[in-house]
Amino acid sequence: MSSFSTYDRLSELFKSSSEIPFTNLSKIVLIGDCHRGDGSWVDDFRHNHSIYYAAIKYYYNHGFTYIDLGDSDELWKNKRFSDITNIYSDIFRLLHNFYKEDRYYMIFGNHDMVKKFPSFIEGNLQMYYNSQIDSYEPLFTNIRVHEGLILNNLDSQSKILLIHGHQGDLINDVFWKVSRFLTRHVWRKLEFSGHKDPTSAAKNYRERRKVERKILNWVEKNNQAVIAGHTHRPSCPLKKELPYFNVGSCVHPNCITCIEIVNSEILLVKWCIKTREDRTVYVDRELISLPKKI
């Protein structure tokens, strides 16, 4: 499929997506590609569980709005969403707190594409079973899950298109059910032997570059900023580069990455574990790029 398909998909989303207004006083964090699993050996998220929790607790306590850019839950390898909520009930409790304060927005990705279906939302996202207290609790009551969103800066009148980034990628967009089948029944088993999924933009350099080129083509032709995920490669352009940003992921070997918008500036940051002189460990936040004015 040519880049023209991606161009059409992004153009359609830019016209149809809901807008989130913000000002110089707003604080927003964009996080994607958590790939939360069931806690088993194929759960890529489990080694960063504590880092992620510390990061979103910081954002919650400091008044940030959380925008999820998709693939937050690994629903290709795992059939049941409840297996994920049971393992990470502490995380979902905190995400629920964001949501009930109108500080949480959700975009679906290719690995959690089922979230676009009302039947899945009704059966899985309204409530969850908290195994720690042996009862059901509200989760995202009446949530609307988006394919795209637009951040609208009311001070500068500039807009940013928010997407997961799989749009127009044939195997991950149009034929996502085939990819899900292969991931669940073939690559899930082969991962233990060290094999990587060749269709994955995150694990295949050529696929990653191809996806990024398609999005960059749309950005250049429309002179329109985009923030995406999907490739797991964090990116914040230099001053003269095209305004394509990528949040990275929460499954890097030793850290998670995300994008903050504070004072109408974009910052690419990472959270990682460090050790003090007294050998105690702590979770720290670091800037990866200099702030970029929107």
The residue ranges of the chain whose pLDDT is under 70 are: 1-4, 170, 175-176, 181, 184-205
Question: How confident is the model at residue 206, as a pLDDT?
Answer: 74
* The pLDDT of residue 133: 79
**pLDDT in the model for residue 180:** 73
Mean pLDDT of the chain: 90
What pLDDT sits at residue 190?
A: 60
| Torsion sign (Cα): 140, 135, 71, 22 | positive
Distance CA 244, CA 237 (A): 7
Burial class (CB in 10 A: 0-12, 13-18, 19+), 292: middle
The full DSSP string for the chain is --HHHHHHHHHHHHHHSEEEEE-TT-EEEEE----B--SSTT-TTGGGHHHHHHHHHHHHHTTPEEEE-S--B-TTT-S-HHHHHHHTHHHHHHHHHHHHTT-EEEE--STTGGGGSHHHIIIIISEEEETTTTEEEE-STT--EESEEEEEETTT--EEEEE-S-TT-TTTTTTHHHHHHHIIIIIHHHGGGT---TT-TTT-HHHHHHHHHHHHHHHHHHT-EEEE-SS---B---TTS--EEE---S-SSSEEEEEEEETTEEEEEEEEEEE-TTS-EEEEEEESS--EE-
Q: What is the CA radius of gyration of the chain?
A: 18
The confidence score (pLDDT) of residue 13 equals 96
> For 109, what's the count of Cα atoms within 13 Å in the CB-facing half-sphere?
30
Length of the chain: 294
> Which domains are seen in the chain, by residue range?
3-293 (3.60.21.10)
The model's pLDDT over 46-80, given as tens digits with 9 standing for 90+, comes to 999 999 999 999 999 999 999 999 999 999 999 99
pTM: 0.90
Residues forming beta bridges with residue 19, ordered by sequence position: 150
Specify which residues 21 forms β-bridges with.
152
**Closest-CA residue to 289 (of 220, 234, 226, 212):** 234
Q: Is the dihedral of CA 57, 94, 162, 204 positive or negative?
A: positive
Pick from 240, 239, 232: which is nearest to 212 by CA? 232
| pLDDT one-digit tens code per residue, 110-139 | 999 999 999 999 999 999 887 777 888 999
- Measure CA 181 to chain center: 22
- Residue 234 CA to residue 255 CA, distance in Å, equals 12
